[in-house]
Amino acid sequence: MSLLAKRPPYKAAFAGLAAICAVAAFAADAVSHSAAAQVRLEAQYVASLGGIPIGRGGWVIDVTDDQYSASASGGTTGILKFFSSAHGISAAQGSFANSGQPMSASYVASINYDRRMDDVRMALSGGNVTDYSAEPPLLPHPDRIPVSDADRRGVVDPISSALNRVDGASDPVSPEACGRKVSVFDGRVRYDLRSEFKRIELVKADKGYQGPAVVCAVYFVPIAGYVPDRPVIKYLIDLRDAEVWLAPIAGTHVLVPFRFALPTPIGRGVLQATEFVSAPLPHAALNVKTE
């Protein structure tokens, strides 16, 4: 989200889709775990703005009973490449807390914007950031709300914030998948993402999942690291029409975004899964290769 404060509208629209749904990018320096992965999701997404394709991305998520590992790659395509060439890779890993929600252990993000690198690395323990770096750092600004030590406690990274595990034996595609608040730190900005149940919809990927998805309204609440008077920040605070459609990873109670949509000043932004394939991996280990 911190990238939004520094970019014009067409770049902010793409960055917003990527930041919330983790399709556009980051690189991982993750730790291998011994637990056997039960299920892997391999998904492909297309991002569009006003009906015009602007980006593509892929997401791979491994899930066990108590751990997860997620990596993503993506970049701009089509007409947006004439304005901004952006691409990158990403990853996060962690465990599921007693509450069932993700608890980050590591996160690394590396994005190349027009040959300018943006790199974030974080280590977390018990929901608290223990070490992090962000290059380039935020530019000094007299009105920026500073990030305190307290703001880096009880948080998850942006990728982990997109994973939602619903407890219980019932169908995870239910209103209970919404109605939560996630505290996120992206290496520069601390913000909350709140969701509320709206409805259930049927979805169908070109390959893989077809069935119900739970649709949640999504609200952005900045906490620290931002400049209050920035137009993009004001826009996101006032935004009431953003939706995320959550679909399940087969064989688990974990839901992840199948579709994300929000209005922008230059057209409706949509991130849509074209492939959403889950497969059991009973003998694989949760392991993201270090780049």
pLDDT mean over 22-37: 36
pLDDT mean over 53-61: 89
Domain spans, the chain: 2-285
Bridge partners of 246, per DSSP, are 214, 257
| Weakest-pLDDT range from 107-111, 113-117, 141-145, 248-252 | 113-117
Whether this prediction's pTM lies above 0.75 is answered by yes
Please report, rounded to a whole number, the percentage of residues in the chain having pLDDT higher than 90.
57
Q: What is the pLDDT of residue 84?
A: 56
Share the mean pLDDT of the chain: 82
Beta strands in 136-253 (DSSP E): 164-165, 181-185, 190-204, 207-208, 210-224, 243-248
Give the pair of three-digit tokens for residue 272. Answer: 């849509």
Q: What is the pLDDT of residue 283?
A: 56
pLDDT band per the 50, 70, 90 thresholds, residue 169: low
State the Cα–Cα distance between residues 44 and 277, nearest whole angstrom.
9
pLDDT mean over 236-260: 94
State the Cα–Cα distance between residues 182 and 196, nearest whole angstrom.
12
State the Cα–Cα distance between residues 220 and 115, nearest whole angstrom.
29
pLDDT digits (tens, 9 = 90+) for 103-138: 999 999 988 877 788 899 999 999 999 999 999 988
